[in-house]
Amino acid sequence: MANMSTEQYKKTYTTFGGSDIVATFNGKTIGELQAITYSITREKVPVYTMGSAEPRSFSRGKRGIAGNLVFITFNRDALMVELSDGPGISKYHANVFKTSDDNGALQFTSVEEWDKHMTSLSSGTNTGAGVTGKTPSDLVAENVKPRYADELLPFDITITFANEYGNKASTVLYGVELLNEGTGFSIDAPTSEKAYTFVCRSVDSMKPIDDNNKGFISTTW
């Protein structure tokens, strides 16, 4: 036992702690991340027939993947700042929208005209009538930065593990969509946190990284 070398210890099974983990969101590392959890559930329904109290088989249904993200809060909403730095989203106005006349002056369309345009859009007969030089998409949409987390476009989360023994691994969550966000402040709390719940399309289970492969193990979905 006393003759065991460091190399022999490295060959034993090791695990990873929180300080060994780095998570990237669409390739961006957000240092404020404090915790990430996810669970995978699937509908399985027993099938019974007459003459047996036990199920004959199980019918498999839909699968769902959901989880939570927890960020420590410093002086910004880190996730929103990093993931909002993109092309933006199409925002639809609830009652009025701005257009320009031939002289470039801004005009505001009335609610009645808005209803007329939206009705014609749904029936496929809109020609942009009433506003010169504008298409239906120009009339109802504007490219803006997301204001809430649930407006962010889908993104991938890559979780990378590496410990002092040189062991490495990774797992990937694909097509993450944020559902809820929440935070709180208290005189008794030394720090503040922000939590999100999410769903995603698929997950690559944890796989070791081969140093000879010069990178992550290939993952597809």
Mean pLDDT along residues 170-198: 93
Mean pLDDT (the chain) is: 79
Does 97 score more than 60 pLDDT?
Answer: no
Give the span between the Cα atoms of 37 and 18, in whole angstroms: 12
**What would the pLDDT profile of 28-49 be if each residue is shown by its tens digit?**
898 889 999 999 999 999 999 9
CB contact burial 183-203 (16+ within 10 A = b; e otherwise): eeeeeeeeeebbebebebeeb
Strands 193-199 and 57-72 come out as antiparallel
Q: Tokens representing 6?
A: 């460091």
For 9, 90, 137, the CA distances from 143, given in Å and listed in that order, are 56, 5, 11
Residues in the chain: 221
Tell me what pLDDT residue 11 has.
Answer: 61
What distance lies between CA 49 and its chain's CA centroid? 43
In which band, very low, low, confident or very high, does the pLDDT at 10 lie, cut at 50, 70 and 90? low
Tell me the residue type at 146.
P
Phi/psi for 68 (5° steps) reads: -135, 150
164-169 long-range Cβ contacts below 8 angstroms, 24+ apart: 165/9, 165/10, 165/14, 166/10, 166/211, 167/10, 167/14, 167/16, 167/208, 168/208, 168/209, 168/211, 169/16, 169/206, 169/207, 169/208, 169/209
Bridge partner list, 155: 176
Domains of the chain: 13-87+147-213 (2.30.110), 90-144 (no CATH)
What is the rounded radius of gyration, in angstroms, for the C-alpha atoms of the chain?
26
Overall pTM > 0.75:
no
Of the spans 26-30, 99-103, 183-187, 199-203, which averages the highest pLDDT? 199-203
Q: What share of the chain is helix, strand, coil (3-state, %, to 5)?
A: 15, 40, 40
